[in-house]
Amino acid sequence: MDTKQIKALIEENEVQAIDLKYCGLDGKWYHITFPARRLDFVLEHGVPFDGSSIPGMRDVESGDMVLMPDLATAAIDPFYETSTLRLICSICDAETRIGVKKDPRSVAHRAHEYLLSTGIADNSTWIPELEFHLFDGMETSSDSFSSGYNITSCESKDALPEDWDDGDNMSRQDIKAYHADTPFDRFYEIRQEMVDLMEDMGIKIRYHHHEVGISSQQEIETELLAFPKICDDAMVMKDIIRRTALENGVTATFMPKPVYNHAGNGMHFHMMLHKKGKNVFYKKGGYADLSKEALWFIGGILKHGRALVAFTNPSTNSFKRLLPGFEAPVKLFFGLANRSAAIRIPKYGNTEATKRFEFRTGDATCNPYLAMSALLMAGLDGIKHKIDPTKHNMGPFDDNVFAWSEEKKATLLSIPANLEEAMQALREDHAFLLEGGVFNEELIESHIKMKLAEYKAVNDRPHPYEMALYYNL
270 by DSSP, 3-state: which? strand
Catalytic residue among 136, 185, 219, 233: 219
Nearest to 306 by CA among 419, 402, 387, 391: 419
Q: Give the count of beta carbons closer than 10 Å to the beta carbon of residue 432.
A: 22
Active site residue 50: yes
Catalytic residue among 155, 232, 358, 363: 358
Active site residue 211: yes
Catalytic residue among 26, 77, 103, 131: 131
Active site residue 358: yes
| Residue-level length of the chain | 473
Q: Give the count of beta carbons closer than 10 Å to the beta carbon of residue 234.
A: 26
Active site residue 219: yes
> In this structure, what DSSP letter does residue 167 have?
T
Whether residue 232 contacts residue 270, with contact meaning beta carbons closer than 8 Å, is answered with no
The two counts, helices (H) then strands (E), for the chain are 14, 18
> In this structure, what DSSP letter does residue 53 have?
G
Catalytic residue among 40, 50, 113, 122: 50
Whether residue 291 contacts residue 282, with contact meaning beta carbons closer than 8 Å, is answered with yes
Distances (CA, A) of 25 to 177, 258, 364: 35, 23, 14
Nearest to 365 by CA among 265, 458, 439, 444: 265
User: Distance (Å, rounded) from C-alpha 72 to C-alpha 1?
Assistant: 5
Pure H helices in 399-440: 406-409, 419-428, 431-434
Catalytic residue among 77, 103, 129, 185: 129
Catalytic residue among 58, 360, 430, 447: 360
Active site residue 112: no
Q: With the C-alpha atoms ordered 86, 227, 439, 307, is the resulting torsion angle positive or negative?
A: positive
User: Distance (Å, rounded) from C-alpha 312 to C-alpha 368?
Assistant: 8
Active site residue 186: no
> In this structure, what DSSP letter does residue 282 have?
B
Distances (CA, A) of 29 to 180, 367, 408: 32, 10, 44
Catalytic residue among 109, 268, 304, 344: 268
Active site residue 242: no
27 by DSSP, 3-state: which? coil
> In this structure, what DSSP letter does residue 280 have?
T
Element (H, E) at 105: helix 104-118
Catalytic center residues: 50, 129, 131, 211, 219, 268, 339, 358, 360
